[in-house]
Structure 1
Amino acid sequence: MPGFFDTAGLGLPICIAGAGAIGITVAARLSIAGFHVRLVARGGSLAAINKKGIRLLDSEGDHSARVEVGQATDFGPQRILFLCSKSHDLAELAAALQPLISAETILVPVVNGIPWWYFDGDGGDWVGQVVKSVDPDGKLKRLVPSRQIIGTTTMITAERPCPGTARTANPLQMTIGELDDRSSERIKVLASMLSAAGISVRIAPRIRDAVWTKVVRNLISNPVTAITGATLRENFGNHYLADISRQMLREVIPVIDAYGAKLEVDPDLILESGRKLGDVKTSMLQDFEKGNQLELASICDAVIELANQRGIRMPVTEAITGLAHFRDAAERSHAA
């Protein structure tokens, strides 16, 4: 990529696709740091951002920023493209984003759950295996070239109170890594850019370990809170709910081991850190309250799919997932 690494990203347009809580947060932080930000939005979000720009309320204050905003057809091919959408919306988004993707575009999918690229670039015993729960027809593999992907996980507990605005009270953290776990110049440049934007970033020596660590955090809290309406403090502070989460945690550890990965932190610390996040609503609970589809496919179904392939039973996780699917379908049917 001639010229890209020479400037370390300065002046280089960075495109964020998706104007939800995470997309607005990342776009705002990069814009505040002086980067040239383009934002792909639609509908009410597009209109609101065109009129007022974007706004982020975080631990450092109340920030407003003006960014280039439009649809994918308004911009040409991009050098860096963040894909910030719900996992079940990603295939549709990827199709719409094709005008932005060239052979040189660095793709940074910021999504929850087990990613469709999980077995790509690994070179292990599962080369060519797919995760049908998140990419049932292989559309994402066709539309989003794996060699251009930088794996990412986030610890950003943001909410979107209204179009164009995001709010978060906790530190912003991201972990990135190449799919083959090798060091690269583009990883270092991306880390430098995110750090300059005030996002704490870590380059993972093994990106799948980071993925599983984030998946576990979501798996043992998101579906439980969607069913109960509990905040993270309540989920991990209440005896009954914490016990359910603890049982789900015990069930998923053998699955992680079966695929040659490991948690990056002690399991008990995951439970404790969840409680310390306070009265934060998980993204799944936020979606449930808004009548939006829940991210059960990538956070829950994909884990159960991988467990079944290795002959591992997850009875508590399966039961909680089933209840969450019921509530999801019933609530959206009622809203319709």
Structure 2
Amino acid sequence: MLREFSERIRAELPPLQRICVAGPGAIGITLATRMALNGLQVTIAARGQSLNVIQENGLQLTDVYGKHTVRVPVAEGPDIPPQDVVFLSSKAQDLASIASWTQNLIGPDTIIVPVINGIPWWYFEGEAGQYSGRNVKSVDPDGCLKRLLPSAHVIGCVAMFTADRPAPGTARSLNPLRLIIGEIDNEPRVRTEALAKILIRSGIETRVSERVRDPLWTKVIGNLVFNPLSVATGATLRELAGDSSLAHVSRQLLNEALLVAASFGARVEMSPRQLLDFTKSMGDAKTSMLQDYEMGRPLELAAIVDAVLEFADLQGLPMPFTQSVTTITRYRSLTSTGQRSG
């Protein structure tokens, strides 16, 4: 299917003029604001309080370039016509809902860019080997995402920056904005280069990867090592990688995750030492999962941890440290939200 789709793409694409960001969370607001500042025609797909706030106040972003306010069209997904590019920016557990709600945005040649944490539903799409086309059961147990978001339209994306949303329609991102994108079947296409160009012009450092699963695993491993442990301990990134006792636990989690990544042929782009040093350099920032926990929100454990455990099980690899930390994290989450009884 991917190859059939690519044959319909001309040698030169028309400008990617109609761009929609579905899900105005911290990352979505950051991307939409930067592209709107570059003069691109950006629409926000939103609902509820976010829809009302953005209609009234526009988008507000504080980033490394300063403070910005932009006015952009905003509407509910079913009211927006087909787009050239759709960024799906949400928590992994909300993706099926957003995918269903934004079907009207997807035309014959629409590029879909999911900007999410963890192992994506498309991981085995476009891959050869024994797992080709397999569902990632932890994130897409019934194949809903695969049906709603055809793989031929999908470009893989890894966000290598952090952001938070202090209020609806408002985001802060005070580290360099970096994205890595790539075709999920590893075939070069003009559309990917065209997308990278508009992102770069918008002030977002963007690299096209010929093997997008490699940087994906780098991000997944960082999330798996530090996110659940931050909820279990309440520690900041500096403490998770710098405190001697916590750094020891982090290193055990890192070793388990690296073995799973290697078993699927991934070339992780940072050494263990580099990953720990980079994390420590982030200072006293809280992980996104710790922020969600403190706000009483659901945690992205399925995509960040359960999917990796699923992959480990496929290869017969034990992950005892990961299992233990995840159990503690899930218990704390369920207890804090009142979902646990007895």
Please give the TM-score of this superposition, normalised by the length of structure 2.
0.94
> Does 1:208 pair with 2:213?
yes
Structure 2 unaligned residues grouped into runs of 5+: 1-7
Give 3-state SS (helix, strand or coil) of 2:136's partner: coil
Aligned 1:37-76 pairs, distance under 5 A: 37-76=42-81
Q: Aligned match of 2:155 in 120, 128, 150?
A: 150
Match of residue 83 from structure 2: 78
Aligned 1:204-283 pairs, distance under 5 A: 204-283=209-288
Match of residue 141 from structure 1: 146
**Letter matched to residue 129 of structure 2:** G
Which region of structure 1 is more displaced relative to structure 2, 226-235 or 197-206? Answer: 226-235
User: How many residues are paired up?
Assistant: 333
8 Å contact 1:157–1:280 — kept in the other structure? no
Q: Aligned match of 2:189 in 171, 184, 189?
A: 184
Shift of 1:128: 2.2
- Could you tell me how far apart the structure 1 residues matched to 2:14 and 2:124 are? 33
Please give the TM-score of this superposition, normalised by the length of structure 1.
0.96
Shift of 1:246: 0.6
- Could you tell me how far apart the structure 2 residues matched to 1:223 and 1:5 are? 44
Aligned-CA RMSD value: 1.6
Deviations 1:251-296, CA, capped at 9 Å, x for gaps: 1112111111120121210111011112221111111111110000
Shift of 1:8: 3.5
Match of residue 331 from structure 1: 336
Give 3-state SS (helix, strand or coil) of 1:102's partner: strand
CA gap 1:234/1:37 in 2 versus in 1, 3 angstroms:
same
- Could you tell me how far apart the structure 2 residues matched to 1:70 and 1:105 are? 19
Give 3-state SS (helix, strand or coil) of 2:108's partner: coil
Deviations 1:120-178, CA, capped at 9 Å, x for gaps: 00123321222100001110011000011000111121010011000011111100000
- Could you tell me how far apart the structure 2 residues matched to 1:151 and 1:86 are? 16
Q: Aligned match of 1:128 in 103, 115, 133?
A: 133
- Could you tell me how far apart the structure 1 residues matched to 2:224 and 2:230 are? 10
Shift of 1:3: 9.3
Percent identity (aligned): 47
Deviations 1:75-106, CA, capped at 9 Å, x for gaps: 11111000000001001110111111122111
Match of residue 170 from structure 1: 175
- Could you tell me how far apart the structure 2 residues matched to 1:27 and 1:313 are? 41
> Does 1:20 pair with 2:17?
no
Which region of structure 1 is more displaced relative to structure 2, 275-284 or 162-171? Answer: 275-284
Give 3-state SS (helix, strand or coil) of 2:44's partner: strand
8 Å contact 1:175–1:202 — kept in the other structure? yes
Match of residue 310 from structure 1: 315
- Could you tell me how far apart the structure 2 residues matched to 1:181 and 1:104 are? 19
CA gap 1:320/1:188 in 2 versus in 1, 3 angstroms:
same
After TM superposition, the runs of 4+ consecutive aligned structure 1 residues lying more than 4 A away are: 1-7
Give 3-state SS (helix, strand or coil) of 1:133's partner: coil
